[in-house]
A and B are shown apart, each in its own frame.
Chain A
Amino acid sequence: MRKNLLMLHTVTRIVVFIILAFSVFLFFAGHNNPGGGFIGGLMTAAALLLLYVAFDVKTIKQVIPFNYTTMIGVGLLIAIGTGVASMLGGFPFLTQFDRYVTVPVLGKLHLTTALPFDLGVYLVVVGVALLSILSIAEDDA
């Protein structure tokens, strides 16, 4: 039975970008406001999940050719890398640095090494959520 999900497809095409923008906002707002890598990753997973629900798994796998297992590994490597990078400078493991940097367009930015660590958390959360859900969805038993 072929169903015509025109409403769902049209709404999904608009709403997914709003959710993705909101997740990026949550990720970058985590230093001074509620938010951070975990909830940002969950919102990104929710947006991609909406795509998988509205369309089919095969199409979205072609559109978003991410290997979520690799994504978990890359996230862990980034999180460990921020710790090892401070060790290379002679500081203890996972020492954090922050600095005010003046960027031409954006102005004065407060850059910290907690942001790459949060990026690692973000990638691991997105990978684990989508990998577990898609593994259950593709199970034939």
Chain B
Amino acid sequence: MLNISLNIALIVMSMAIVVCFIRIIKGPTMSDRVVALDTIGITLIGIIGIIMVIQNTIAYAEVILVIAILAFIGTIALAKFIEGGVIFDRDRN
């Protein structure tokens, strides 16, 4: 019973990633693509969590945190690039 639910959850999350991928391909603006990429990162975290339950291991716990941190930093860098054109400011003042 648990295995069936986990597999159903994996399938639904894969479909969510496919939907985000369509948004990345035909998103009219850059912001749509950035938000879709961030959503794919969050969905990947969920998929890895479910795979950890299926394989009965905690070996991927660090991978979840690394993906979360990298998605956060990547989204912030892209958002700053869209907003101001530069990622690194020389001198803020």
Seen from chain A, the residues whose Cβ lies within 8 Å of a Cβ on chain B are 3, 8, 15, 19, 22, 26, 29, 33-35, 39, 43, 46, 49-50, 52-59, 134, 137-138
Contact = CB atoms under 8 A, between A and B. Distances in A.
Contacts, number: 54
**Size range of the interface on B?**
20 to 34
B59 A56 contact: no
Contact of A8 (B60, B62, B76): B76
Q: Chain B: interface secondary structure?
A: helix
Given A39-B66, A57-B90, 13 more contacts: A8-B76, A15-B72, A29-B62, A33-B62, A34-B62, A35-B62, A39-B62, A46-B73, A52-B88, A53-B80, A55-B92, A56-B88, A58-B91
Contact of B88 (A3, A22, A53): A53
Contacts of A3: 83-84
Given A57-B89, A58-B91, A137-B87, A46 B70 contact: yes
Contacts of B72: 15
Interface of B: 59-60, 62-63, 65-66, 69-70, 72-73, 76-77, 80, 83-84, 87-92
A82 B65 CA distance: 31
A34 B52 CA distance: 14
A65 B37 CA distance: 34
A58 B88 CA distance: 10
